[in-house]
Amino acid sequence: MKKSLISLAFILTFIFCNGQNESNFVPIYEESKVPDFEIPDPLTSFSGKKIKNSRQWEKVRRPELLNFFTENVYGIVPGDLEISKWEVVEQSDKALNGKAQRKQVEVVFNQNGKTLSFNILMYIPQKAENVPLFLGYNFYGNHSVYNDENILISGAWGRNNETKGITDHRLTEKGRGVSRDSWQVERIIDAGYGLATIFHGEVDPDKEDFNDGIHPFFYKEGQQTPAINEWGTIAAWAWGLSRAMDYLEQDTDVDASKVIVFGHSRLGKTSLWAGVTDERFAGVISNNSGCGGAALSKRQFGETVGRINNAFPHWFADNFTKYNENEKALPVDQHELLALIAPRPVYVASAEEDLWADPRGEFLSAFYATPAYNLYGKEGIPSKDMPGINQPILNSVAYHTRPDGHGVTAYDWEQYIKWANRNFLKKEVYEPKTHVSIEGEKFLINGEPTFKGREWKGSEVEGLLPNSRMVQGVFDDLNPETVAKWKYPDTRKWDAERNTNEFIKAMPEWRNHGLLAFTINFQGGSPEGYSKSQPWENNAFEPDGTLRSAYADRMERIVKKADDLGMVVILGIFYFGQDERLQDENAVIAAVDNTVDWIQNNGFTNVIIEVANESDNRGYQQDIITKERIHELILHIKKKAPELLVSTSFNGGSIPPEKVVEVSDYVLIHGNGVHEPARITEMVETVRSLPSYRPMPIVFNEDDHFDFDKPVNNFVNATKAYASWGYFDFRMKDEGFDEGYQSVPVNWEISSERKEGFFDKVKEIFID
């Protein structure tokens, strides 16, 4: 306990009750059990005065609210302490494969014979100046945020966690990179932001012991614990963030006017308090901060004031215990904590399954904080109706809730970056225009069937998705021994950016002819058309399944252009001959997850997934991609992102297995090797006769048969059987640059007789 005078009997009683409360505490997880309570009006002072403008807010209401939270919740900081010195102890301009500068800065404090230091790990975009920056604490050491062997390992005390590499309260090499998914360092750098992070245990260890960390630096003679209105650990951590800000103001690589303070869970409570007490922070992010953070205390949903004070008695001022099981007596609530940040932007994020943190309570807190922002003409949460999953509100008061539980995900960071772009860099936020969906056997775009009401020669074509195989749109070859094979005839060298730029330039003409979709792959198909071996590396994934940013950037430009044109992207993930470049099955699953995250994080609604091209091909080395197990990956995606439409394809002429059809949203088949158009009709009929088939679209997205000038061909028969058909064209023997869409380098224009034949047929069936 923090009180200096306390009887042994009370100590024993507290220990007993603490254990009893933790073991017997039953949280409220049902809205019907939330007690009745009144929301304190942020715009009415304690004396009853109505606050009508920002001047009154700053002169009357803000000071009294800040004083209450300081004295009764987080605690007073009992003095001032400036940085004694700081030193850059390590740096490199070749971090993150050359895209960033890494800097490790030791910040030192001396007072009364005591010394404390903490290390700030920083990543800054290469060759950038005055960058905006995210600043936040990490849980498991700076070395945990990224798998970088140069990051120093802290010697500070850590809470034991074997899976995070903390044993006997010591951080170890085992923890290197264990939190990389929660920090998304490359994504932050690619967006043009810097990142600074500190191990929270260096400022104040997360334990009920006030004889280490920063607290003893401020004790009066004989004092061993903070007074009842003085700071707990959360306020100490907030103090540390302000001292980091003192350093950042001296760092010429950083735009100190655009430092956004971030925190998750208990560190999200910290970021909020830091943002309230230090107005130098330009914005504040609270991720799953829950009780004592963004969630309304009076709801008593999930974790409560009593539960948090019993479990973590060192976090808050002792005065806060007056409200244990007594939240109704609080004259304030956490929405007023958020209001104290106004007019600076604040982002509150929740997770659907994180009931302990009370997602609805966090949302309502953001909603009820909005009137304070309105005083400054700022937009907040417009309605008390909670938005759906993955439907962020990116105003000055921002909010989202995502699927899954307590943690920080790539989706969270994508929203934070979009919000920061809008609020600090004044960048436009991408809003998708094209939403693809399925209703029975029909494809819909923006809620309407494709080619609504259209027939062709007595056959219905409404709801079909004419497509072409354009898999090399993001092609590159990472093998220096083979890359010269793909040189352009005019420049005599390969250029991945030129390839994508010319792809995008050609897309409007495809769309004008009626093409509504194209297949494009992260692991591209053979750049020779058909190949026995694939020594080249056309692969968007690192061996561990991480999505390579250069591929992702090129794909993003293509998908956005497709969205603008009203086109659907059939996004392929794996291709035989390239899948073995992933180190193991876990890497395959990681590649799938990273692809899904990439789609969701970008907000794309015009993408449907082909997990693998021809998963029954014997060239696949990863067992989970093969015919017998590919359905597992489809189910994995459906569980992770149920809104995505998913399927996988099989060799030309093959019928998908029952277990694949059963779990797919649409059926993908290939016409390669099918020389008789009647077989195309038969394949469609066979699929529809499968016991596992239910009304869903059937799509050929690869067929290398043409004869478009003949009355009967594969395209025509697929259309008459009410199946979408896809064109596959490669450069044949002795043909030149203008031929084919599969062979690299590609002329993406409608530049050959075969291409003209296909596009003219599309136009005839769907447009003319």
Q: What is the pLDDT of residues 729-760, one digit of tens each?
A: 999 999 999 999 999 999 999 999 999 999 99
For the record, the structure tokens of 326 come out as: 């007594």
How buried is 19 (Cβ within 10 angstroms: 0-12 exposed, 13-18 middle, 19+ buried)?
Answer: exposed
Q: Do 195 and 134 contact (CB within 8 A), yes or no? A: yes
Q: What does the buried/exposed string (b/e) look like for 131-156 if buried means 16 or more CB atoms within 10 Å of the residue's CB?
A: bbbbbbbbbbbbbbbbebeebebbeb
**Is the torsion defined by CA of 692, 696, 697, 702 positive or negative?**
negative
Q: Is 675 a catalytic residue?
A: no
pLDDT digits (tens, 9 = 90+) for 85-117: 999 999 999 999 888 999 999 999 999 899 999
Task: Give the mean model confidence (pLDDT) for residues 167-192.
Answer: 94
pLDDT at 240 > cutoff 80: yes
Q: Which two tokens stand for residue 632?
A: 């597992």
Give per-residue pLDDT as tens, 260-309. Answer: 999 999 999 999 999 999 999 999 999 999 999 999 999 999 999 999 99
- Taking the C-alpha atoms of residue 173 and residue 165, their distance in angstroms, rounded to an integer, is 7
Enumerate residues 6+ apart whose C-beta is below 8 A from 692: 658, 659, 661, 662
Closest to 738 in 3D by CA, of 761, 756, 764, 758: 756
* pLDDT at 23 (0 to 100): 59
Instruction: Return the residue matching tokens 């309105």.
Output: 374
526 contacts 570 by C-beta, under 8 angstroms: no
Q: Is the peptide bond before 331 cis (omega within 30 degrees of 0)?
A: no
Packing angle of the helix pair 630-640, 585-602 (nearest 10 deg)? 40
The one catalytic residue among 54, 92, 406, 636? 406
Plot region of 60 (φ>0 → left; ψ -120 to 50 → alpha; else → beta)? alpha
**648-667 pLDDT, tens digit each:** 999 999 999 999 999 999 99
* 212-223 tens-digit pLDDT: 999 999 999 999
As to burial, measured by CB atoms within 10 angstroms (0-12 exposed, 13-18 middle, 19+ buried), residue 737 is middle
Is pLDDT of 546 > 60? yes
Give the integer Cα–Cα distance in Å for 699 and 669.
6
pLDDT of residue 602 exceeding 90, the answer is: no
The Cα–Cα gap between 213 and 156 comes to 9
Question: In whole angstroms, what is the distance from residue 610 CA to residue 656 CA?
Answer: 13
In angstroms, the Cα distances linking 342 to 22, 170, 251, 318 are 36, 40, 26, 27
- Are 681 and 717 within 8 A, CB to CB? yes
**What SS3 state is found at 414?**
helix
Give the per-residue pLDDT at 15.
33
Q: pTM, whole model, 2 decimals?
A: 0.70
Mean of pLDDT values over 46-51 = 97
Asked if 726 and 467 touch (Cβ cutoff 8 Å), the reply is yes
Q: Is the pLDDT of residue 252 over 90?
A: yes
pLDDT > 50? residue 1: no
Q: Which pLDDT score, from 0 to 100, does residue 525 have?
A: 83
Determine the Cα–Cα distance for residues 597 and 527; give it in Å rounded to an integer: 27
**Whole-number mean pLDDT of the chain?**
94
For residue 346, the 8-state DSSP code is: E
The secondary structure element, H or E, covering residue 456 is strand 455-456
Distance of CA 99 to CAs 124, 377, 709, 750, 757, Å?
Answer: 9, 39, 52, 37, 45
State the catalytic residue, choosing from 154, 179, 182, 265: 265
Q: Which of 151, 128, 131, 280 is nearest to 194 (CA)?
A: 131
Rounded CA-CA distance 404/758 in Å is 45
447 vs 5, higher pLDDT: 447
Identify whether the C-beta of residue 316 lies closer than 8 Å to the C-beta of residue 293. no
β-strands 346-351, 283-287: how paired? Answer: parallel
Q: Measured between alpha carbons, how far is 290 from 355 in angstroms, rounded to an integer? A: 9
DSSP 71: I
Q: For the chain, what percent of residues have pLDDT higher than 90?
A: 90
Q: How many Å from the N-terminal Cα to the C-terminal Cα in the chain?
A: 81
Active site residue 257: no
| Residues 256 and 246 sit within 8 Å (Cβ to Cβ) | no
Residue 751: the pLDDT is: 97
pLDDT at 22 over 70: no
Distance of CA 87 to the CA centre of its chain: 34
Average pLDDT of span 544-554: 93
